Amino acid sequence: MKNYVLAIAILCLGINNLFAQDNLLNELEAETQEESYEQPAFKAMKIGNLQSTKVAAKGDLYMYVSHRFGTLKEGLTTFFGFDNANTKIQLVYGIYDGVQIGLSRESIRKTYASHIKMKIIGQSTDFPVNIVGYATANIRTDLRKEQYPLVEFGDRMSYATQLLISRRFSNKVSFQLAPTFVRQNLVLEPFQKHNQIALGAGGRMKVSKRMSVNVDYVYNFSRHQNSIYNNPLTFGLDIETGGHVFQLLFSNAQSTNEPGFISNAEGKWFEDVFFGFNIVRVF
Structure confidence by residue, pLDDT tens digits, 4-21: 444 444 444 444 444 444
* Residue spans per domain, the chain: 2-282
Residue in 263, 280, 37 with CA at minimum distance from that of residue 166: 37
Hey, which residues does 131 pair with through a beta bridge?
121, 165
Dihedral in degrees, nearest 10, Cα atoms 90, 52, 59, 129: 170
pLDDT above 50 (res 55)? yes
How far apart CA 9 and CA 1 sit, in angstroms, is: 13
The pLDDT mean for the chain works out to: 83
Task: Supply angle C-alpha 158, 164, 169, rounded to 5.
Answer: 155
**Contact partners, residue 124, CB within 8 Å, separation at least 6:** 38
- Length reported for the chain: 283
Structure confidence by residue, pLDDT tens digits, 127-143: 999 999 999 999 998 87
pLDDT at 12: 46
pLDDT at 271: 81
Determine the average pLDDT of the residues in 119-131: 94
For residue 54, name the pLDDT band (cuts at 50, 70, 90).
very high
Predicted model pTM:
0.82
How far apart CA 28 and CA 203 sit, in angstroms, is: 20
The answer to whether residues 10 and 65 touch, using CB atoms and an 8 Å cutoff, is yes
- Tell which CATH classification among 2.40.160.40, 3.10.450.50, 1.10.3720.10, 2.60.120.10 matches the domain 2-282: 2.40.160.40
